[in-house]
């Protein structure tokens, strides 16, 4: 019989439908009966983190305090695995003109994650390509199209890019608004940190009608982004199995 695994899920923040994401992630975690999950809205419970076998985060503009950053760094450096999703690496500030700035105010947090969000273009379809088709986490994943937030980030460390897309253009509303180089942009990557690893997946935008308050009272539509794409669901399952060190599930199933 497999040993039980203690998971910590951090799901909360701003401008996203965290109720939807929380339920979806818990359902995926619940597919493994040996995984027991505690749920929090931020990184404040460092005791729960120390007691966990792995960490999963789906946040936006959740800023850990210095002691929380150190606990996260110690957790990963000590051999922990962290599956970080979508807006986890975002730190957002609206200036007096309403432009989004992304201050470098949490350096250790960004160092552990390996990247910091800087901007995204308006939500539109884009193509995700497999950069490492031989890697177990993405083996059999064919190129796919998503209508999601295309994350453009600053990278603070070497990472192993597993999935990527390309972007050149403008990102209105962000301080980093001009991206003139047509370059590959990481979508899924692995980051080694000490004895542990971070697996970061930038996909997974979701938003309901009331998630932009106080900026917008009622958002005009419900957005589910990559959550509606089967390949994304497969990537989440593989990411969770990876985080839980589930060796028996290392052989992936193909996904289109």
Among 83, 47, 99, CA closest to 68: 47
What pLDDT is attached to residue 253? Answer: 46
The Cβ of residue 119 has, within 10 Å, a number of other Cβ atoms equal to: 22
Residue 92 burial class via C-beta count within 10 angstroms: exposed 0-12, middle 13-18, buried 19 and up: middle
The answer as to whether 254 is a domain residue is no
The answer as to whether 256 is a domain residue is no
**Three-class SS of residue 38?**
strand
Question: Could you say which residues of the chain have pLDDT below 70?
Answer: 1-2, 246-256
What pLDDT is attached to residue 2? Answer: 67
b/e burial code for range 28-55 (CB count within 10 A of at least 16 → b): bbeebeebebebbebbbbbebbeebbbb
Domain count along the chain: 1
What pLDDT is attached to residue 3? Answer: 80
The answer as to whether 255 is a domain residue is no
What pLDDT is attached to residue 12? Answer: 98
CATH of the domain at 198: 3.40.50.880
Q: Which domain holds residue 161?
A: 5-249
Average pLDDT of the chain is 95
The answer as to whether 173 is a domain residue is yes
The answer as to whether 50 is a domain residue is yes
What pLDDT is attached to residue 245? Answer: 87
The answer as to whether 180 is a domain residue is yes
pTM of the model: 0.95
Q: DSSP secondary-structure letter at 60?
A: E
The answer as to whether 220 is a domain residue is yes
Cis amide bond preceding 235, omega within 30: no
- Cα(59)–Cα(15) distance, rounded to whole angstroms? 10
The answer as to whether 91 is a domain residue is yes
What pLDDT is attached to residue 246? Answer: 65
The Cβ of residue 181 has, within 10 Å, a number of other Cβ atoms equal to: 8
What pLDDT is attached to residue 156? Answer: 85
- DSSP string spanning 158-175? --EEEEEEEEEEE-TTBS
């Amino acid at each position: 019989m497999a040993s039980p695994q203690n998971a910590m899920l951090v799901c909360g923040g701003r401008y996203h439908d965290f109720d939807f994401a929380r339920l979806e992630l818990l359902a995926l975690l619940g597919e493994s009966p040996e995984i027991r999950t505690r749920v929090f809205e931020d990184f404040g419970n460092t005791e729960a983190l120390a007691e966990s076998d792995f960490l999963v985060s789906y946040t936006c503009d959740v800023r850990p305090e210095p002691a929380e950053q150190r606990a996260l760094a110690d957790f990963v450096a000590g051999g922990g695995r962290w599956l970080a999703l979508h807006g986890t690496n975002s730190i957002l500030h609206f200036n007096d003109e309403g432009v989004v700035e992304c201050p470098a105010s949490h350096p250790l947090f960004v160092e552990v994650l390996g990247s910091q969000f800087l901007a995204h273009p308006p939500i539109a379809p884009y193509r995700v390509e497999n950069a490492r088709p031989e890697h177990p986490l993405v083996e059999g994943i064919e190129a796919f199209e998503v209508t999601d937030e295309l994350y453009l980030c600053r990278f603070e460390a070497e990472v192993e890019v597993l999935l990527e897309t390309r972007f050149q253009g403008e990102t209105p509303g962000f301080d980093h608004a001009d991206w003139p180089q047509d370059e590959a942009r990481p979508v899924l990557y692995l980051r080694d940190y000490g004895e542990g690893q971070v697996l970061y997946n930038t996909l997974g935008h979701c938003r309901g009608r009331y998630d932009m308050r106080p900026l917008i009272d009622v958002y005009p539509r419900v957005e589910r982004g990559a959550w509606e794409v089967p390949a994304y669901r497969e990537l989440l399952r593989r990411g969770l199995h990876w985080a839980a060190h589930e060796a028996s599930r290392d052989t992936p199933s193909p996904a289109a």
